[in-house]
Amino acid sequence: MNRVLLSFVFIVLTVNFMYASADTQKQFSVKPGETISLDLRSGGSVRISGWDRNEVVVIASSKGDDAEDSNIEITQVPGGVNVLSDYDRRQDRGSTDIRFEISAPKHYNISLDSAGGGITIIGMNGTFKGSTGGGGITIKNSEGTTYLSTGGGEIDLEDSKLDGKVSTGGGRIVLRNVRGDVKTTTGGGDIIHEASFTDKPDVSASSKDEVVEIKTGGGAIRIDSAPLGADVETGGGEITIKSANRFAKATTGGGDIDIESIDGSVKASTGAGDVSVQMTGNAQAEGHDVSISSGKGDITLILPPSFSGSVYVKLGYTRKYEDVEIVSDFDLQRDKTNEWSTEYGTARKYIYGKGQIGSGKNRIRIETVNGNVFLKKAGK
């Protein structure tokens, strides 16, 4: 009986030791526009929220072994506040459970250098820069310029106006109602660009304020709205652009491309996959050139009845795909080669389509292999 009681006491003491916690809190009077610099050699999760007070409050909490071994220094310096965290020099540590909860003036800058851990920024207006060895990046209800990167983790940008660039070594990137010229890059993961705003900027503006620029090493890309254009690229995965103005440039190493509505020029290319594009707007005007190519797959282009442009189609096919064809609601001259060509390895024949629609102001060029080409008139 005594032995059981002693074992129970030992377990309780061990659990209490493992979950012992230590908190450090500092508060400073500051000026808007200064910078909070985080040098987190131990790593740790960070949450920074903006408020209407000219004060910075930093609460650092740690648990278990981290509470015993971590060294945290929070100091006020000219131009802002510095936060330093490190482990005891005698310790060889690779992981951390240190958390930083920070409140700062809304107009404040952030500089981050972290060994690892996610960062969340809410309600801030400034410049956010730096990197973390691994962990998610979240920015909500904020405005400014961001140059943040993570070695691996999801990036979530929401209800913000941001310029600059965010990147992850591998992970999904989601943008919800994000304005500004912010570029996104991931080593591998889907990129989703959702828009809930309804106002439409002047598409004749020269500013790049609303250009959507996305690049991922591999994964799907989905864009709800690109009012001033989209330039997207993935190493392999589907691309969907629901609505774009001015221009849409979409490139994938392999996967379908679907551009549901574009009032402007199009350049779409896939290593293998189907491509579907629907042109809208004043298609009689210039600035509606179309270039579509696929290494293998069907191509569908839907044009307004009043479209004005010259058309060139090159359809190559191998012996197993001799039934492919060019189907057009517009008048095209078709020519078919008689001899098999081995210029690209496997023997191919070609079907060429040429023609002019209206006055021929814009140029349409379509190339594919082993797929049909459909030129359709909208509403027919």
| DSSP-derived pairing of the beta strands 362-369 and 239-241 | unpaired
Question: Span 347-354, mean pLDDT?
Answer: 97
> Are the beta carbons of 155 and 170 closer than 8 angstroms?
no
For residue 96, the model assigns a pLDDT of 60
For residue 379, the model assigns a pLDDT of 85
Q: At residue 204, does pLDDT exceed 80?
A: no
For residue 344, the model assigns a pLDDT of 86
Q: At residue 91, does pLDDT exceed 60?
A: no
What percentage of residues in the chain have a pLDDT greater than 90?
71
For residue 356, the model assigns a pLDDT of 96
Each residue of 291-334: pLDDT tens digit?
999 999 999 999 998 899 999 999 999 999 999 999 999 999 99
For residue 202, the model assigns a pLDDT of 30
- Listed in order, strand segments (DSSP E) in 283-369 are 290-294, 299-303, 309-317, 326-328, 333-336, 349-357, 362-369
Q: At residue 150, does pLDDT exceed 60?
A: yes
For residue 230, the model assigns a pLDDT of 93
**Confidence class for position 373, pLDDT limits 50, 70, 90:** very high
Return mean pLDDT, the chain: 87
**Confidence class for position 283, pLDDT limits 50, 70, 90:** low
For residue 11, the model assigns a pLDDT of 39
For residue 217, the model assigns a pLDDT of 86
What percentage of residues in the chain have a pLDDT greater than 70?
85
Q: At residue 104, does pLDDT exceed 70?
A: yes
Each residue of 44-66: pLDDT tens digit?
999 999 999 999 999 999 875 54
Question: Span 93-118, mean pLDDT?
Answer: 89
Q: Model pTM greater than 0.85?
A: no
Q: At residue 375, does pLDDT exceed 60?
A: yes
For residue 17, the model assigns a pLDDT of 34
> Are the beta carbons of 76 and 30 closer than 8 angstroms?
yes
| DSSP-derived pairing of the beta strands 349-357 and 333-336 | antiparallel
**200-219 core/surface letters (b: 16 or more CB in 10 A; e: else):** eeeeeeeeeebbbbbbbbbb
| CA-based nearest residue to 7, from 30, 136, 15 | 15
Question: Span 178-196, mean pLDDT?
Answer: 85
The more confident residue out of 174 and 14 is 174
The more confident residue out of 379 and 108 is 108
Under DSSP, the state recorded for 226 is B
Question: Span 115-122, mean pLDDT?
Answer: 97
Phi and psi torsions of 308, nearest 5°: -120, 115
Query: Coil, strand, or helix at residue 132?
Result: strand
For residue 90, the model assigns a pLDDT of 46
Each residue of 247-268: pLDDT tens digit?
999 999 999 999 999 999 999 9
CB atoms within 10 A of CB 255: 21
Each residue of 8-48: pLDDT tens digit?
433 333 333 333 455 889 999 999 999 999 999 999 999 99
Query: Coil, strand, or helix at residue 207?
Result: coil
**Confidence class for position 88, pLDDT limits 50, 70, 90:** low
Question: Span 85-99, mean pLDDT?
Answer: 67
Q: At residue 68, does pLDDT exceed 50?
A: yes
